[in-house]
Amino acid sequence: MLGFGKKKDKNNCCCGNIDAETIKEAQAGGSAVKVLGMGCSNCKILADNAVKALERLGMEPAVEKITDMAQIAAYGVMSTPALVIGGKVVSAGKVLSTEEIVKLMQKQGAQPK
């Protein structure tokens, strides 16, 4: 039997155990700007663009890269790369330009210095 008809544990997904604690851990602490993805070239470009956006705004150019699939899934992201600003997913599945990231950060309250 292939498992059809079996009840799935609601806290289990293809990426591992996802529960409220995992979600809280994924979204808490660390950098205010995060790039979610497995480290492909698009993820690296998005991270570089995020660093440039932070520098343009006169902010600390700290971008956290999240590659753990359980943490990525905890954000509800199904398509990478994804950009998280202030704990919220603001983009998923595309590479944003530096200017697009600056605009998103300004919406979140960041002002150029």
List the catalytic residues.
40, 43
Residues 6+ apart with CB under 8 A from 34: 63, 64, 65, 66, 83, 84
**Element (H or E) spanning 35, and its range?**
strand 33-36
The answer to whether residues 89 and 83 touch, using CB atoms and an 8 Å cutoff, is: yes
Sheet strand arrangement including 64-66 = 64-66, 33-36, 82-85, 88-92
Helix (H, G, I), strand (E, B) or coil at 16: strand
